[in-house]
Structures are given as C-alpha cells and as structure tokens.
Structure 1
C-alpha cells in the first residue's frame, strides 16, 4: 500500500502493511518511491521529463523484482534468477514413449456383467502368462549390523530389510559384483538415496560408481555420509531432473567412464518405472551396456498408457488401452483390505468406495475383500508382465518375484533382470 503521509523525502513512501511501517530504502532526488516499489505506482511520481528515464518493468525471469526499462537487457544478462543452461543430457520428455491421451475408467460405470467378464479375462491371462510368483526373501550381510541395531517394530527396520533383500537378490543373479569392470549403479527416484547407500557398502567405490536421479533435492541425503571434509565422493553423483527428461547415455559418467550399467529403484511409483526402463533402454548399446535391472514396484494405479513399456505385450493379447485403464483401476483392490498398509495411499480406491460403488454391490457379485485383493494383485502382475517382456527383448533374463513378506510391505514384488549368465 502506498501512502503520501510519509513526509520524509529521503526514504521510500511505500507502506509495508505486514510490518506496519514505511519502507526504509532511500530514493533518488525528486522521487517518492525506491527502485523496488517504483513500478507499483502508475504515475511514478516523477516529472514528465524524467518519467521515461526512471520507468521500471518487472523482470522477465522473476516478476518479484523490477529494473529500469533502459537497463533491461543488461539486467537480464546478470540476473540471479536467469535460468541456467540445461546440461546436454537433459532433453524434455525424451523417455516418454508417445502422447496418447489417457483414458480414465470409473469402475462404478461398468455393469455387473461387464465387470465380471473383465475379471474372468484377467484370471485367464494371469494363469496363462504370469502364474504364481516365486518367493525369494533374503538378507545381504552388508546390512546385518544396521538391522541388528534397529527395532523390528520401527518403520526404519522394514525399509532397511527391504533394501537388504533387494541386494540379496541382485547378488544372487550376479548384478551386484565389484572389481571386474567399471560398473555404474543408477538409482531412479532415489530420494534420500538409501538404496544407493546400501549398494555403495556392497561394492568397491574405488572401481564402481553410484548415480542417483531424482527431481527433488531432499535433506539428510544418505550419500552425504560418504563426504570427506565436506567434499563429495568422486564415485557418487546426483542428477536433479525428472526421469522423463534424462538422456542417460549422455550423462558424462555413463558416456565416458562406464563399462557396465545396472538400474535400480525402491518403490518407484507407477509411470516412473516405465520412464526408468525406457531411459535404460535408450542408454543401452549393441554391446549390452545395461547388465541388470532391479526395481521394487508399486503404485500401479498411477501407471499411464502413454509411458507404459508393455504395450506390445498387451496388443499381443488383444488388450486395448481401455482394458489397461480398467486393470489399472482394479489394481487398487490389491490393498483394499489392508488396514496396516499406510506406506502408499490410494485415493483412487477411496473415491471408488465412497462415490462410485453402491453399498453391497461387490458382496452381491461374490467379490468379498479377499477376492478383490486377489484380483487386484493379478492386475498388477499382468501390467508387470508387460515390463518383463520389454526387458526380455533387450535381451535380458527378466522375472517377477516376491522379495519380502506382505506384512513388511504390501507392495512386495521385485522386477529383476540380468544379462544371460555365461
């Protein structure tokens, strides 16, 4: 708010409402407002001959500050808000497969007959192409001391146990090796980097490297534990970017100093898994740079057709984009009966329960909670089977397995792939 009650000509006449006082910035002779607030006054309170000279405009990079119109070009060269040039490995939507418009399906709009028909089809496809997943729960020795120091009732113990079992399964198929050749382990959606930190303890960082990709920059990152005298470890790197935009093969670490690439992720939600797989696929080469993939899957209700890498598998089964959307909606059933599964919320399932489905409808159809959970898991695994087929075409040997018990995490399926064992 501007006011003329301030009689002091030396300081700005703009009244700061939140601070209940006038701005204390000095003003130029003959002017009423400082440079910061001059643009807020249309008349600018200057004589006509000097109005053009002192005219100000909001900065194109950040409208929260302004500059003289006459000095705009010079200001834009040195403005602190000027966007920094993007690295050569950042290319917008390079890992997005296509731009198909998403189809959204509300299960409440399907008739009982239609819903039962798609359920029967899901069960048939699951039986023929997925089957029962093997269980491979284990612990890697590198995390035994950490597990022993935590209480099993704490959430942190469960997270470390999941990482331990992921490392166990990576080692089991030979993708967690060290010393043979320069390997880079790329964690997608790394967050604080807990999984990368665990991998770093299991390999030799004198020869191997860690690369973490995440669009946010969280506090208390685990890779800070590798710092010496405030300096980052030479073998640990972070890329702050959306997975959709990362041309992995152009990241200097991968392009110049990597002989073997392994992609990892822990609870990589929905479409992020498909973006990560396509990112790795683009970085692969005829010599098989990508030697392994190990991703703990989750949040299938957030998958999208435009990002999904398993389209070819769906089309082979004569499944359409609409069928994909229906299965995606039914994946929320997989945790509908779990009162302890707070690790991942499911707003899609909640909305269905509150608004889309009449009370008692499922009971009348013979779809109790246990049956719906089973169908939801089948839908998840069919979507994941498309990802397995995508990896198998590289070629890698790929499979799905349970890597922890459901009481540790209801999202307990691991996508594991490795180069053919020689």
Structure 2
C-alpha cells in the first residue's frame, strides 16, 4: 500500500519576528480526522470572522513598484513578501566590497552625530507605584522580577510626566478606584500591545484607576494578570488574541469613540512599526508617506522598543526618512543587522564605548590597508573590536528609532525618545512617548 502525505498551511496568529505560516505534514488518510479537531485551524477560522480582523492591514509594503510586480504569481494572485532573516542580512553585508562597507559605516557615524542629540535619561518611579510594589512584596503577590517592575513603573511614570495620567503623588493604590469616581470621562482606555501576561496593564490599572483595558497578544499565556484584573468589577477587560499586523482598531466595537492610550513593554522588531500604523492608519489604508494627523480619540503612547535586528523594510513606518538620508533598502537591512552587536554581550555602559572620532580613525586604517582586506568585509568584521561593534550597534538602534520619532511628529504629535531605565537594568532602554500637541 502506498501512503501519500499532504502539507497543510495554516495562517493564524504568528510571531512578529517571523511571518511564515505554520506548516503541518501528515498522512493523507489522517487529514479529514485532523481537520475536524485541529485547534489552530478552528482558532484561525474564528479569528477570520471577527470584525476587527483584516489580514495585513498594518503590514505596510516595500513601496517599490517593480518588486510589487515581481511578487505576482502565475495566476495573477499576490505572493507574500519574504521576511529577510538575520542570516540573509549577514550574507548581504559580507558580499559588500570593503569600500561599500566603509562608506556605510561612515554614513552611520555622520547620521548619529547629526540626528541623535538631546536624548535624555528619563527614569521615573511614581509614588503610587512604589506603594503598590511595597504592598505586593509584603503580601508576596509579586509575580515578576524586580527589573521588570522597574521598567513597568518607569513606562507608567513617563506617561504621568507628560500629563497623560494625573499626578499620583500622595495617593494610595487602594484609593485609586474612589479617586476615579466621577472622572471616568477623563480616564482613557488603555491598549497594551504585545501584552503577554498583562502585568504592565495590571500595575497601571491598580495604580491609576483605569476603567477600560484592551490586551492585544497573538499567543495564549498561562499565569496571566487577567484573573486579578477581572476581580475588579469596575474594570472592563477585553483580550484580543490577534497579530498586530491584522488588527483594525476602528472595528473594535467597544473601543469606538473612546479615548485611548497605547502602551507596550518591549515590542520586538517590526511589531513597533505595526503598532504605530495600527494606532494611526492612513485614510486609504495603504502605506503611503503622506502625514496623517492623530485621531481625536488618541490620548497618548509609550512604547519600549527592542530587537531592532528583527526590523523589516516592508513594515518600517518611515521609509522616506531613510530614502531622504540617501540610504537604500539594502543598507537599512544591514543597519538592522548591526544592532544585534549592541546587546549580544556585556559591553558595559553605552557612554563608555568608543566615540565617533575613534571609530572613524579605525575606518581610515581599514581603507589604508585595503590590500590587507582582500578577503572582503568578513575579514574586516572579524578584526573589529567587540567594543567598536557594540558602539556601532547602539548608534544603529538610535537611527532606526529616530525615524519612528519623526513619523510620529509628522502626525502632529508632541513626541520624543528617552532612555527610560539605566542600561544596567536593560540595554533595551529606548522609550517612544507621545501625546497630542494640543493636549491640556
């Protein structure tokens, strides 16, 4: 007897760093039985029926007509854009000539020196969060490590610092619910993107009396904060199990017309860009570069970025920023790959790394030894000191986030980037914060 196998492709919630569909291999004779009970297929079918599900609505595009045409299949259907993996990025860098590589590094140094100024430390620990933490420690109800608490409190504190949330000075967490009574219209809803177990939202809800909470997360988690949050009868909690790429916020019925604040603690790679586009969709739902003003129900934003090496040209919100700087799609992916050097080892404080002058001096020595690098960029990288690679990685991270910052400002927002925790707590310490410019 000959047994045939079949491949099943299921398109459901996926990792933001890898958008390949899930592929299952099984015997053909078992297919019907599997389809009837497959939980992933049922989940994907259920999701597709939700009014807020629209495949790829926040994905963006390459913005290059020639490549768009090449992605049409033989039957005229549009083929998915392939994710550029870290290995592909590395191989592309290694194929550069030494001159091309040196010119790219020189661009990075110049752009960082020009653009990344006045980036301030902004570590905050609101009094109400300190009281909340102390109470939780005493009651042994703290479900996460101290470094995570510090990051969560500072994200909340930065929102308070720019006026998105009312000052918490002197308020006890147990009094928040009473303080919020009669002020419900002034308390925004909170949408936590990439919410995971929802502990950032839990701190915010407990300390500031938020009345509406939306948790956006593609995965299913155990030991999450939902159980504790649902015990608060005055809190409306809704968990949306969906990839941010496919979420149409305008179609979430319970959110329509409700002022909201978007938050996230560590949105990996392209997930930051997907979230920004989700909060500020263009009118025609295409990834054009025309600035759109923030909607009237947008109340503020605090997003901690991370994993810049996973960023993709297709998803990046501000391609025009890179193009105007004379950077190509290929150079963008090289820059994203360099960012992994910033956090791949313990390099100490960012301020202790080599400065631009030192790095440029190193570049000049490479150019002068051109014959010594006949084997190409791979040899150059192998000879680079770890501290110099780390310095380059940090600068690339700032350049990528500066493009996102400018994109927010183009939409009429009062926005900035800060270092919201010391690098000793987390080297991924960039926080994008924004509020409407007419905020009172």
TM-score by length of 2: 0.68
1:337–1:370 CA contact under 8 A, matched in 2? no
Q: Of the candidates 100, 105, 110, which is equivalent to residue 96 of structure 2?
A: 110
SS of equivalent residue, structure 1 residue 282: coil
Q: Gaps spanning 5+ residues in structure 1: where?
A: 1-38, 42-56, 65-78, 342-355
Partner residue in 2 for 1:380: 397
- How far does residue 211 in structure 1 lie from its aligned partner after superposition? 0.7
Partner residue in 1 for 2:59: 96
Partner residue in 1 for 2:200: 195
Distance in 1 (CA, whole Å) between partners of 2:217 and 2:428 is 21
Q: Of the candidates 187, 209, 213, which is equivalent to residue 212 of structure 2?
A: 209
Residue 248 in structure 1 maps to residue 256 in structure 2: no
- How far does residue 196 in structure 1 lie from its aligned partner after superposition? 0.8
2:191–2:260 CA contact under 8 A, matched in 1? yes
1:122–1:378 CA contact under 8 A, matched in 2? yes
Q: Gaps spanning 5+ residues in structure 2: where?
A: 1-27, 68-80, 167-179, 283-291, 350-375
2:341–2:390 CA contact under 8 A, matched in 1? yes
1:224–1:232 CA contact under 8 A, matched in 2? no
Distance in 2 (CA, whole Å) between partners of 1:40 and 1:123 is 60
Q: Of the candidates 159, 180, 183, which is equivalent to residue 170 of structure 1?
A: 159
Q: Of the candidates 104, 112, 134, which is equivalent to residue 120 of structure 2?
A: 134
Distance in 1 (CA, whole Å) between partners of 2:393 and 2:294 is 38
- How far does residue 190 in structure 1 lie from its aligned partner after superposition? 0.2
* Closer/same/farther in 2, CA of residues 182 and 254 from structure 1, 3 Å limit: farther
Distance in 2 (CA, whole Å) between partners of 1:333 and 1:126 is 16
Residue 58 in structure 1 maps to residue 32 in structure 2: yes
Partner residue in 2 for 1:276: 275
Aligned Cα RMSD in Å?
Answer: 3.3
Distance in 2 (CA, whole Å) between partners of 1:377 and 1:134 is 15
Residue 321 in structure 1 maps to residue 338 in structure 2: no
Residue 185 in structure 1 maps to residue 190 in structure 2: yes
1:147–1:161 CA contact under 8 A, matched in 2? no
Residue 220 in structure 1 maps to residue 209 in structure 2: no
Q: After superposition, what is the alpha-carbon deviation per residue over 1:93-142, rounded to whole angstroms, capped at 9, x for unaligned?
A: 11111156455432333333322221110011111122252101120223
Q: Of the candidates 282, 286, 296, which is equivalent to residue 288 of structure 1?
A: 296
Please identify runs of 4+ aligned residues in structure 1 that moved more than 6 A: 79-82, 283-286
* Closer/same/farther in 2, CA of residues 122 and 358 from structure 1, 3 Å limit: closer
Q: After superposition, what is the alpha-carbon deviation per residue over 1:207-244, rounded to whole angstroms, capped at 9, x for unaligned?
A: x311110011201111211233xx97641111111111
Q: Which has the higher helix share?
A: 2
Greater mean deviation of Cα atoms: 105-114 or 394-403: 105-114
Partner residue in 2 for 1:119: 105
- How far does residue 394 in structure 1 lie from its aligned partner after superposition? 1.6
2:125–2:150 CA contact under 8 A, matched in 1? yes
* Closer/same/farther in 2, CA of residues 224 and 379 from structure 1, 3 Å limit: same
Distance in 2 (CA, whole Å) between partners of 1:362 and 1:198 is 44
* Closer/same/farther in 2, CA of residues 375 and 311 from structure 1, 3 Å limit: same
* Closer/same/farther in 2, CA of residues 129 and 157 from structure 1, 3 Å limit: same
Q: After superposition, what is the alpha-carbon deviation per residue over 1:67-114, rounded to whole angstroms, capped at 9, x for unaligned?
A: xxxxxxxxxxxx989943621111111111115645543233333332
Distance in 1 (CA, whole Å) between partners of 2:343 and 2:188 is 37
TM-score by length of 1: 0.71
Partner residue in 1 for 2:150: 161
Q: After superposition, what is the alpha-carbon deviation per residue over 1:286-335, rounded to whole angstroms, capped at 9, x for unaligned?
A: 75221211001100001111111011211221211111011011111112
* Closer/same/farther in 2, CA of residues 319 and 172 from structure 1, 3 Å limit: same
1:212–1:239 CA contact under 8 A, matched in 2? yes
Partner residue in 2 for 1:7: none
Partner residue in 1 for 2:426: 409
Aligned length: 331
Structural mapping, 1:227-266, within 5 Å: 227-228=230-231, 234-255=235-256, 258=258, 260-266=259-265
Distance in 2 (CA, whole Å) between partners of 1:170 and 1:81 is 35
